[in-house]
């Protein structure tokens, strides 16, 4: 690079990323541009390079477009007014006196018509027809290849052949708008950039938008002097006109300096548009300034459009093949999931399919407190931390993806070897349930075209000075997740959510049926138990009368028969009473009132004095928290628990019964603990069921309904109940009521 160009980098330039490059207020010095009012066709602004044009045709600003240049535009005025926004009109070539022949092209923009008048290149007598064989040959070769990069190489060779630049390269953007040179054709006058990458800041967002809107841009001389616009008085205070569509639009001083730093005297860019998006550029460079004739630019633009279509076609074909393969994997997964009740576990058994769905190296399923790990992935604890972090993100997303997780969440650096990349879908709106895919670290060496850290170290913004290959080693990154990966994950999420909803509907229908059955059963049990009470009392009463009336005439065996009848009827009557009480628990309306728990417990103990009579019982009653509950129902809870403690400690001397309460989190827990016979914890799940007994009736009397009543009452108050025991060492029964509706302040 020569010394003169090294010195020029010090010029004070505005920040490239903020510069309004589509409104430069000037043109390149190769013709003229008129800004015309779209309705009145009055010339509002004019930028004219040739003084001869001004001298020969007089003032332009303020005149009607049909009246200038000896009426050249007069026959076209109707067409100019009919142009729709975004349309262009080729008017043709015209010899503007001493200024020489110009190509004339009009563009419709909001409220305006821009008229480009570009000087013909000296010695240019060629036509587009002459270039057609080259265009046809290029198209044929591009169509024959199935590889996108090979198609780019063919296009770069033909564009250079047609335009005559020293170097033509194909520049492809990645997902973060960094660019990579994927194909190149050159002579030895300029260095090779093949394989080099360039940072997003080299072509900022507003420049990319211009490339998308206007497919061809030529800068014939990086050292040109811009030609400013002459403006009508009414427009002098307005911002410069948008010249995005103009071929002669002047370019940013920052870009001109960038070209000089590259030792480039001229450049031409042709946009590659795929599926409506800017895919990349055909970028042409020449050591010295050079102009490219209009018909040659048109041919190059045509090749660029063919290449754009072929890239879109080839990438779409590859995408379709991949999507079909992913869909087959998904169908296999859904088949296994739909065929079982526990569909999450079924998903976890399909390791190969689940990993293949997103080309991941590891996966995890976190659902209902369960963590299923597949392939190479972090530990269970680390996965739980990831899930907590994902759940805390605001707003919460249906899908999250990152190929550099450690850069977004520092703790991930600890397991970057297996999870530098993370793709996650949320499968529940209520809980932290996720399916996660992982990709391990892939250490990459990237060859940049110069140090990409432009503007670092507090320097003022300016173009990079060096384009020598600059290597960077990228750590803690995985291969990027692409659109196919994310779409496959989202489709799986939709399928899982659909299964969950279907299961929920089935469960809701089953619950509805169960509620209806329970109501019918409660009504039946209430009716039966109510109707059976009187017959059992009659049996007991008439048995007593029979024994009294017959007196001494009864033999001992007959008395034993009567005694057995009375005993059985009494037991059955007690069972019916308990069953009636149980059915009433589900039908009664709860009326919560403030309750002094200590007083209620002491009253219950007094009621049970007969059961405790003659016993050596040591009571330990601690301070008990007040609650808000239904007094009658809660009294029955205490009566059942305390009565059981008295009953199952009858073989202990002394018997010890402790009653206490404690607040834990958002609930109050009440415990009745004894030193009685205890029970086997293997059968604890049966304890609170109806008619469930863990001791023989010969040892301890009872119907097996008391604890079922306790469970139902506590449940109806929004609480829960459980028990702990060791055979021969007593038992403890605990019920908890929520503070929200179970405790007074």
As a whole number of angstroms, the distance between CA 726 and CA 221 comes to 95
Low-confidence ranges of the chain (pLDDT < 70): 1-19, 125, 339, 341, 394, 396, 429-431, 444-474, 500-534, 536-538, 540, 542, 566-589, 689-705, 740-745
Core vs surface per residue 468-481: b (16+ CB within 10 A) or e: eebeeeeebbbbbb
Structure tokens at 115: 């008229």
Query: Three-state SS for 600?
Result: helix
Predicted local distance difference test score (pLDDT) of residue 697: 47
Q: What are the pLDDT digits (tens) for 468-505?
A: 555 566 678 888 898 899 999 998 888 887 776 666 55
Predicted local distance difference test score (pLDDT) of residue 711: 86
Predicted local distance difference test score (pLDDT) of residue 454: 54
All residues at 6 or more sequence positions from 92 whose CB lies less than 8 Å from its CB, including other chains: 103, 104
As a whole number of angstroms, the distance between CA 658 and CA 662 comes to 13
HEC sequence for 105-159? EEEEECCEEEEEEEECCCCCCCCHHHHHHHHHHHHHHHHHCCCHHHHHHHHHHHH
What letter does residue 675 receive in the DSSP assignment? -
Contacts 24+ apart (CB under 8 A), 695-700: 695/648, 700/647, 700/648
What letter does residue 673 receive in the DSSP assignment? E
Query: Three-state SS for 225?
Result: coil
Predicted local distance difference test score (pLDDT) of residue 368: 79
Structure tokens at 304: 């660029």
The alpha-helical segments, DSSP class H, found in 265-377 are: 294-338, 343-348, 351-358
Q: What are the pLDDT digits (tens) for 383-420?
A: 999 998 988 876 767 899 999 999 999 999 999 999 99
Task: Compute how many other C-beta atoms are within 10 angstroms of the C-beta atom of residue 379.
Answer: 12
Query: Three-state SS for 395?
Result: coil
679, 685, 689: which is closest to 730 by C-alpha? 679
Q: Torsion-angle region of residue 476: left (phi > 0), alpha (psi -120 to 50) or beta?
A: left
Cα torsion angle, 510, 516, 521, 526, sign: positive
267, 293, 248, 298: which is closest to 122 by C-alpha? 293
Task: Compute how many other C-beta atoms are within 10 angstroms of the C-beta atom of residue 221.
Answer: 18
As a whole number of angstroms, the distance between CA 425 and CA 405 comes to 15
Tell me which H or E stretch contains 489: helix 483-550
Predicted local distance difference test score (pLDDT) of residue 579: 52
Pairing state between β 655-664 and 617-621: parallel
Predicted local distance difference test score (pLDDT) of residue 455: 46
Q: What are phi and psi of 298, to 5 degrees?
A: -60, -40
Task: Compute how many other C-beta atoms are within 10 angstroms of the C-beta atom of residue 315.
Answer: 14
All residues at 6 or more sequence positions from 186 whose CB lies less than 8 Å from its CB, including other chains: 160, 166, 167, 168, 169, 192
As a whole number of angstroms, the distance between CA 664 and CA 729 comes to 26
Core vs surface per residue 232-241: b (16+ CB within 10 A) or e: beeeeeeebb
As a whole number of angstroms, the distance between CA 736 and CA 744 comes to 14
């Amino acid at each position: 690079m020569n010394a003169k160009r090294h010195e020029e980098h010090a010029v004070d330039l505005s920040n490239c990323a903020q510069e309004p490059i589509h409104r430069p207020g000037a043109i390149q010095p190769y013709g003229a541009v008129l800004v015309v009012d779209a309705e009145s066709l009055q010339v509002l602004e004019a930028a004219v390079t040739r003084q001869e044009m001004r001298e020969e045709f007089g003032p332009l600003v303020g005149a009607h477009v049909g009246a200038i240049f000896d009426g050249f535009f007069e026959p076209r005025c109707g067409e100019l007014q009919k142009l729709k926004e975004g349309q262009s009109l080729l008017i043709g070539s015209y010899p503007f006196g001493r200024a020489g022949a110009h190509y004339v092209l009009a563009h419709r923009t909001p409220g305006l018509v821009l008229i480009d008048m570009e000087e013909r290149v000296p010695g240019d007598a060629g036509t587009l027809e002459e270039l057609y064989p080259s265009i046809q040959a290029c198209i044929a070769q591009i169509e024959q290849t199935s590889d996108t990069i090979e198609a780019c190489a063919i296009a770069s060779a033909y564009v250079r052949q047609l335009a005559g630049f020293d170097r033509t390269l194909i520049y492809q953007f990645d997902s973060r708008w960094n660019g990579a040179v994927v194909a190149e054709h050159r002579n030895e006058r300029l260095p090779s950039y093949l394989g080099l990458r360039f940072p997003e800041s080299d072509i900022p967002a507003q420049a990319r938008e211009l490339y998308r809107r206007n497919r061809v841009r030529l800068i014939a001389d990086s050292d040109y002097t811009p030609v400013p616009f002459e403006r009508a008085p009414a427009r002098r205070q307005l911002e410069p006109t948008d010249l995005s569509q103009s071929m002669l639009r002047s370019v940013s001083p920052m870009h001109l300096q960038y070209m000089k730093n590259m030792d480039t005297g001229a450049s031409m860019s042709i946009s590659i548009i795929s599926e409506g998006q800017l895919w990349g550029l055909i970028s042409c460079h020449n050591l010295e300034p050079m102009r490219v004739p209009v018909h040659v630019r048109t041919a190059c633009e045509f090749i660029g459009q063919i290449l754009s279509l072929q890239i879109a076609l080839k990438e779409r074909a590859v995408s379709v093949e991949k999507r079909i393969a992913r869909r087959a994997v998904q169908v296999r997964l859904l088949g296994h999931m739909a065929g079982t009740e526990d569909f999450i576990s079924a998903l976890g058994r399909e390791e190969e399919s689940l990993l293949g769905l997103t080309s991941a190296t590891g996966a995890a399923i976190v659902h209902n407190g369960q963590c299923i790990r597949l392939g190479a992935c972090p530990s269970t604890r680390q996965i739980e931390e990831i899930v907590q972090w994902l759940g805390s993100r605001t707003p919460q997303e249906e899908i999250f993806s990152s190929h550099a997780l450690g850069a977004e969440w520092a703790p991930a650096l600890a397991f970057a070897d297996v999870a530098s990349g993370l793709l996650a879908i949320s499968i529940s709106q209520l809980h932290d349930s996720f399916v996660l895919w992982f990709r391990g670290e892939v250490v990459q060496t990237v060859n940049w075209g110069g140090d990409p850290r432009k503007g670092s170290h507090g320097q003022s913004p300016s173009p990079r000075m060096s384009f020598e290959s600059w290597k960077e080693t990228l750590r803690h990154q995985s291969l990027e997740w692409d659109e196919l990966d994310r779409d496959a994950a989202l489709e799986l999420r939709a399928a899982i959510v659909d299964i969950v909803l279907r299961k929920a509907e089935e469960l809701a229908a089953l619950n509805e049926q169960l509620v209806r059955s329970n109501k019918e059963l409660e009504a039946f049990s209430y009716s039966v138990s109510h109707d059976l009470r009187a017959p059992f009392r009659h049996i007991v009463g008439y048995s007593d009368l029979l024994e009294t009336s017959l007196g001494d005439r009864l033999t001992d065996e007959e008395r034993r028969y009567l005694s057995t009848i009375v005993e059985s009827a009494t037991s059955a009557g007690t069972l019916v009473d308990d069953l009636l009480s149980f059915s009433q628990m589900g039908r009664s309306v709860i009326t919560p009132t403030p309750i002094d728990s200590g007083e209620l417990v002491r009253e219950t103990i007094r009621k049970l004095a007969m059961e405790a009579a003659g016993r050596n019982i040591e009571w330990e009653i601690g301070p008990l928290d007040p609650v808000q509950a239904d007094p009658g129902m809660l009294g029955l809870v205490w009566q059942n628990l305390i009565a059981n403690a008295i009953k199952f400690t009858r073989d202990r001397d002394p018997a010890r019964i402790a009653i206490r309460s404690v607040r834990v989190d958002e609930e109050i827990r009440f415990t009745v603990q004894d030193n009685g016979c205890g029970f086997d914890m293997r059968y604890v799940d049966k304890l609170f069921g109806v008619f469930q007994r863990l001791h023989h009736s010969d040892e301890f009397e009872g119907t097996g309904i008391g604890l079922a009543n306790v469970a139902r009452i506590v449940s109806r108050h929004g609480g829960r109940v459980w028990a702990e025991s060791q055979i021969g060492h007593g038992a403890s029964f605990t019920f908890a009521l929520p503070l929200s509706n179970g405790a007074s302040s």
